[in-house]
Amino acid sequence: MSTAHDKPPRGSFGPQQRSGPAVASARLTTNGSISWTAAILAGGQARRLGGIDKSALVVGTSSILERQLSLLRGLTPHILIVASDRSPVRTGEIRVVADRIAGAGALGGLYTALMDAPTEQVLVIGCDMPFLDAPFLTYLMERGRDADAAVPRDARGRHPLCASYARRIAGHLHDCIMAGNLRVGDALLDLAVRELGPDELAPFNRDGRLLLNINTPDDYARARA
């Protein structure tokens, strides 16, 4: 359940500080680059797939979660999985955190990821995206350094569940949730968002599957083709 302590103090990284540099207090790696956290959102109910755990769907020879963890381990030491209390996701060495606000959907998962991340910049990805790769995610995080969010957009629209976020916007997300505004896209309207459009994505998306997320049996069939 939500408590008064769930909301970040506005003096630390609330929305009124959005004009400052996104990585002002981010941890530095040994080579001087900015460190970031990767958060996998695994709390969805997958109604169109019969309520199954989408992260366990096998694409190629591995589950989507295994594919994502293998990818992310090569990019950052800071990885966490956000799941609901009822989520079947289990993993040995990776930290799994429960949604801080139950019933808040993907926006609640995003809020939880920002609150639990140890760095100021956070990559958030859905657990149903099997074709992300290192060059794209590295580029995405570079583009997100000085913005509230960096969000890719292809022919199907924006993909806010594969995006870079500044931890300081957590207070704004909390306000949206408390007001009952749970659409991630709506929460982005008041933020400084850097959009990566189709032309910018093209070098990373030659087969058109980079941002494929599996919501239906047809999506899964396409992923396995």
pLDDT tens, position by position, 149-184: 999 999 999 999 999 999 999 999 999 999 999 999
Residue 135: which domain range?
Answer: 24-224
Q: What are φ and ψ of residue 53, in 5° steps? A: -80, 105
Residue 6 domain flag: no
Q: What percent of the chain is modeled with pLDDT above 90?
A: 68
Residue 152 domain flag: yes
Q: Which two tokens stand for residue 13?
A: 């990284």
The 3-state secondary structure of 109-129 reads: HHHHHHHHCCCCEEEEEECCC
Q: Count of domains in the chain?
A: 1
Tell me what the pLDDT averaged over the chain comes to. 84
Q: What's the pLDDT band for 27 if we cut at 50, 70, 90? A: very low
pTM: 0.82
Q: What are φ and ψ of residue 148, in 5° steps? A: -60, -35
pLDDT tens, position by position, 60-119: 999 999 999 999 999 999 999 998 765 555 566 799 999 999 999 999 999 999 999 999
Which has the higher per-residue pLDDT, 13 or 204?
A: 204
> Alpha-carbon distance 149 to 153, whole Å?
13
Residue 210 domain flag: yes
- Quote the pLDDT of residue 93: 79
Where residue 202 sits, what CATH number does that domain have?
A: 3.90.550.10
User: Do 210 and 204 form a contact (C-beta atoms < 8 A)?
Assistant: yes
Residue 43 domain flag: yes
Residue 4 domain flag: no
The 3-state secondary structure of the chain reads: CCCHHHCCCHHHHCHHHCCCCCCCCCCECCCCCECCEEEEECCCCCHHHCCCCHHHCEECCEEHHHHHHHHHHCCCCEEEEEECCCCCCCCCCCEEEECCCCCCHHHHHHHHHHHHCCCCEEEEEECCCCCCCHHHHHHHHHHCCCCCEEEEEECCEECCCEEEEEHHHHHHHHHHHHCCCCCHHHHHHHCCEEEECHHHHHHHCCCCCCCCCCCCHHHHHHHHC
